[in-house]
Amino acid sequence: MLHLRMIVPADRTEEVTRLVCSTVGATHLTVLRGAAYDPLGDVVTCDVAREAADGLLTGLRGLGVADAGSIAVENIDLTLSTSADKAEDDAPGEGADAVLWESLVEETHEESTLTITYLAFLTVATMLAAYGVMLDSSILIVGAMVVGPEFGPLAGICTGLVRRRRGLVARSSVALLIGFPVAMLLTGGFSALMSVFGLFTQGRFDAPHPATQFIWQPSWDSFVVAFLAGIAGILSLTSSKSGALVGVAISVTTVPAAANAALAISYADWGEAWGSTVQLVVNLAGIAVAGTLTLLAQKWLWAKQRRTVSI
């Protein structure tokens, strides 16, 4: 169940309450007349089953509640109520399968913005991966994958394409197209600094790296793994199972490929630099394609399920 808390202009309260009452899966409606001070209006609250929430939020937006007042949505961890149980039973479909589009758009908007923090995480992850390449350490490579924040912008592109939000697609693309080059440039500087201290050397870079050589050897396997990771990543976002994102992060060699490309350029190994760059592009493309197709499938299946229930 989700809890909605709204500030509604007094002249729209009746419309809002009628909408809530007519929504299958909504219950616990409360109206506090004149309780809101900024902005002025009534406070209206209700609980709604997750699978019915998207339709209700769309209706509330249509009534102008988000423009003239506010809508806050909270997850309810535990509710002991017969009416809540009935609302969940009456709502079409299963809550685990429902996509809360408003929440997804908001979440990806925050995660896909080019910020100092985003650049810092991506840069540190790329530097860690560079060290992992030099030491041929799979542990450091995995650590760098977990630290990397690049799935946020990729999810933003997928969501923006499906929801036709050009601004979200543009913002996410900027985060990727600027973020990776900046991280690679700084990693190149980091490599030069480590070379001064004798920690990074040409010999170390040219030595066999059996544990990490897959980073710069793109193949169809790379695309398939990225495609599967993209499906899992989007499912974890839409179902609120954030723990699965860790598995996604350590499945795809985006950050390590960027790090290896930066090192290869530093040591003028153009073949390895090209292979790493192709690996990076293949993985990013695989995740984006899979994520977009997954969201389209969820949108179609959920709409079909709701039509079937309504019939």
pTM: 0.81
Domain range summary for the chain, segments of one domain joined by +: 2-98, 103-302
CB of 231 within 8 A of CB of 290? yes
In the CATH scheme, what architecture does the domain 2-98 have?
2-Layer Sandwich (3.30)
137-176 pLDDT, tens digit per residue, is: 988 998 898 888 998 899 999 999 998 889 999 999 999 9
Give the integer Cα–Cα distance in Å for 296 and 115: 29
Which helix (H) or strand (E) is 136 found in, with range? none
For residues 252 and 221, give the distance between their C-alpha atoms in angstroms, rounded to a whole number: 11
Distances, alpha carbon 178 to alpha carbons 144, 175, 217, 259, in Å: 19, 6, 24, 15
Distance between alpha carbon 93 and the CA centroid of its chain, in Å? Answer: 24
pLDDT-derived band at 286 (thresholds 50, 70, 90) equals very high
pLDDT for res 244? 55
> Are the folds of 2-98 and 103-302 the same?
no
Position 79 pLDDT exceeds 80: yes
What is the C-alpha separation between 194 and 198, in angstroms, rounded? 6
Q: How many CB atoms lie within 10 A of CB 47?
A: 24
Lowest mean pLDDT among 66-80, 101-115, 215-229, 273-287: 101-115
Write out the two tokens for 68.
Answer: 């003239």
pLDDT at 95: 58
Of the two residues 50 and 40, the one the predictor is more confident about is 40
pLDDT at 213 (0 to 100):
83
| pLDDT at residue 55, as a whole number | 84
Q: Can you list the alpha helix ranges (DSSP code H) found in the chain?
A: 13-22, 50-62, 65-68, 82-90, 101-111, 116-135, 138-147, 151-163, 166-196, 202-206, 220-238, 244-249, 254-266, 270-310
Q: Within 13 Å, how many C-alpha atoms sit on residue 262's CB side?
A: 30
Assess if CATH 1.20.1080 describes domain 103-302.
Answer: yes
Per-residue pLDDT at 251: 66
Q: Residue 240: its pLDDT value, please? A: 58
What integer is the mean pLDDT of 263-275? 91
pLDDT recorded at residue 112? 84
- Angle formed at CA 147 by CA 155 and CA 126, multiple of 5 degrees: 100
With bands split at pLDDT 50, 70 and 90, how would you rate the model's confidence at 106?
confident
The per-residue pLDDT for 305 is: 63
The better pLDDT of the pair 200, 213 is held by 200
